[in-house]
Amino acid sequence: MERGSDKHGARMDDALEHEVEGLVRAGHDTRGEEWKSAEPSGEDQPDVDLVPDGTLTGGVPEGMSEGDVAARAEIASFLGKEIWPADREALIARAGTLHAPDRVLDRLRQLPEGIPFANMQEVWTNLQGGVEAHRF
């Protein structure tokens, strides 16, 4: 049987995994007490970053830019999964209910009126965002 580490046992592996679970899921430290958090990088060490050098290598689909991915994700975060299908007015109302920033509401106001959208991809296509290339 192969484990992730050969320096300590399975129980210690599980304890270490649990210790960083919040950081991995949230992308930032989730501890309430500062003294429990990991120390930041030293002066002579590079900063720890989820996206070193500002690139999302392997995380940006072909046909889209980092900006497209970030903008589409931001809009989607204020709509949710349960709203589909929805028209422009329903999308604006939902985003407003969830306190979306003006930049998100302004993008949604650019959508044509009276057209039902089946999913976020249709919304993003209508906003003329970059579209993922099809994989075969």
- The domain segmentation of the chain, as residue ranges, is 1-40, 66-126
What integer pLDDT is reported at residue 45 of this predicted model? 74
Q: Which residue has the tokens 């989820």?
A: 50
- Tokens for 114, please give them: 């009276």
pLDDT of residue 49: 60
Whole-model pTM: value is 0.55
Q: What would the DSSP string read from start to end of the chain? A: ---S-SSS-HHHHHHHHHHTHHHHHHSS---SSGGGSPPPPPTTSPPP-SSGGG--TTTS-TT--HHHHHHHHHHHHTT-STT-SB-HHHHHHHHHHTT--HHHHHHHHTSPTT--B-SHHHHHHHTT---PPPP-
So what's the pLDDT on residue 59?
65
Q: What is the pLDDT of residue 90?
A: 94
Q: Which of 53, 90, 56, 93 is nearest to 73 (CA)?
A: 56
Would you say 74 and 87 are in contact if contact means Cβ atoms under 8 Å apart? no
Regions in the chain scoring below 70 on pLDDT = 1-6, 27-28, 34-35, 38, 40-41, 46-59, 130, 133-136
Phi-psi region of 128 (alpha: psi -120 to 50; beta: other; left: phi over 0): left
